Amino acid sequence: MSTMRDTMNSYGAQAQWAGEFLDKWIPAAFQDLASIAHPSPYAANRTLFSEKEPPRGVYLLLEGEVKLSMNSIDGRRLILRIAKRGEILGLASALSGNSYEVTAETLYPCKLAFVSRRDFLGILVRHPEVYQTLSEELSRDISAACEQLRTVGLSASVPEKLARLLLDWSENGQTTEQGTRMRFSLTHGEIGEFIGASRETVTRTLTLFKTRRLVDFHGSMITIPSKAALENYARC
């Protein structure tokens, strides 16, 4: 009876921690993880870890969004992507033992569960079947990094880079009668750090998009009336 109750509790907790990464863990492995990973609230703009720091462990993102970025030698910053609910942060460094390759900073108030590197590696020893899920997660991270480099390095102009960025973000947007709607609370300077452009250039480009009715703003929300029109503009 106790075992059945524990299993049901494990399924319930796993549903609350839902994400593509943890969904694939068998209940026994997840229960082991949940026993040592205690969720905690984090304020907005909190740095979880910085590049070049030794790996302390991994963070499971349960609520909110986290900005992942890296800096050049001359101090310029490139934002790689925004991590969403259900993702694991710091995985590659925890596995390799090498320093963190990126800086992770909360965008909004978040809830995360930290697991020390030692405890996390212990789980892998006890549940080796989890390695397949880790491989898939690392592959997704590499694909996302390649896509970001393609946007920044191979797009011909700032309007094209920004259009591609907005289209990528819209994949998780809400479909409405007015178009695809999504939250848009980054500053123009932060958007520039995504595509390697200045804040002023981003402002001018967004104004151009709005004039051409490719986007529409309502407070912290942005609507793309026609993704096809924005895509055609990016190609041109």
Mean pLDDT by 10 residues, the chain (236 residues): 37 55 82 88 95 94 91 77 89 94 92 95 92 86 76 73 86 86 84 87 92 88 91 77
Instruction: Name the helix (H) or strand (E) containing 7.
Output: helix 2-16
Please indicate, yes or no, whether residues 15 and 71 belong to a single structural domain of this protein: yes
CA quadruple 29, 30, 35, 39: dihedral sign: positive
Of 105, 123, 151, the position where a domain reaches its end is 151
- Give me the pLDDT at residue 151, please: 67
* Count of structural domains, the chain: 2
Q: Please name the residues in contact with 224: beta carbons below 8 A apart, sequence gap of 6 or more.
A: 166, 167, 170, 173, 179, 180, 181, 214, 215, 230
Q: How far apart are CA 11 and CA 13, in angstroms?
A: 6
pTM greater than 0.85 (yes/no): no
| Length of the chain in terms of residues written | 236
- CATH classification of the domain holding 122: 2.60.120.10
The two structure tokens encoding residue 163 = 């259009």
Give the dihedral sign, CA 120/122/126/128: positive
* Last-in-domain residue among 135, 151, 167: 151
- Do 203 and 86 sit in the same domain of this protein? no
The values of phi and psi at residue 113, to 5°, are -115, 120
Three-state DSSP class for 218?
strand
pLDDT at 153: 65
* Same-domain check for residues 34 and 131: yes
At 155 the pLDDT is 61
Verify that 52 and 141 share a domain, yes or no: yes
Strand pairing class (38-42; 57-63): unpaired
Q: How is 90-131 classified by DSSP, letter by letter?
A: SHHHHHH-PPPSSEEEESSSEEEEEEEHHHHHHHHHH-TTHH
pLDDT of residue 14: 53
Domain that holds residue 106: 2-151
* Per-residue pLDDT at 3: 34
160 shares a domain with 198: yes
